[in-house]
A = this chain, B = another copy of it.
């Protein structure tokens, strides 16, 4: 039986094997071009696997007031919440290949499959951990701390080591960054300039950021060493 390549990739990465009973009836492969919203069935939560590309999970607080709940990259698994007090949409940041599944139906299909459940739980734990760090940032950090936190959080996810420095090729705009960390584009821009002046980062073009001084950035981010 023939699978689309993205679903194969999803199965081997998420289930550690090529077959999950009933998955073909659920999974749908979608190509989405940059800046386009991922089309979803809106009857409940949706699970999206990013076979390639990058996306932002956006919550609408009001017209012209959006909060980026998460950025996700190739290989990531995202759950998009269903109906609730606020509407969530997934928007591609670059041309992307995605596998889309209704979350409830998937959960039911893998109900007695501990390996897949464990994988989903790992993924959810990681997302929760990142979301808590984001909440901390949004609630109790200054603008300059937020930018440093943001860059440090991106480093392990999309950073490439470049000598002693780390190179980030950010697929999101200043507006997306601002919507993610609760600032305006102007404030984001000013803070980037300040970090550049402090020699903590270097920039190249619109999207490339070079993290020059990680300890300095961690200090700026207000990272507290866990005292234990």
A129 lies within 8 A of B86 (CB): no
> CA separation between A189 and B121, bound complex, in Å?
39
Closest Cβ of chain B to A14, distance in Å, is 13
Enumerate chain B residues within 8 angstroms of A202, measured Cβ to Cβ.
Answer: none
Interface residues of A in 36-81 (CB under 8 A from B): 42, 45, 59-62, 65-67, 69-70, 79, 81
Enumerate chain B residues within 8 angstroms of A226, measured Cβ to Cβ.
Answer: 42, 82-84, 86-87
**Copies of this chain held together in the complex:** 2
| Chain B residue nearest in CB terms to A178 | B139
Let me know if A136 is at the binding interface, CB within 8 A.
Answer: yes
Instruction: Pick from B67, B85, B132: contact of A140, CB below 8 A.
Output: B67
Interface membership of chain A positions 111-130, coded 1 if the CB is closer than 8 angstroms to chain B and 0 otherwise: 11110011011001101110
A140 lies within 8 A of B65 (CB): yes
Let me know if A102 is at the binding interface, CB within 8 A.
Answer: no
B42 lies within 8 A of A85 (CB): no
Closest Cβ of chain B to A98, distance in Å, is 19
Let me know if A135 is at the binding interface, CB within 8 A.
Answer: yes
Let me know if A141 is at the binding interface, CB within 8 A.
Answer: yes
B136 lies within 8 A of A128 (CB): no
A85 lies within 8 A of B117 (CB): no
Query: Considering the complex of A and B, which 3 residue pairs feature the smallest CB-CB distances, nearest first?
Result: A139-B182, A138-B138, A42-B228
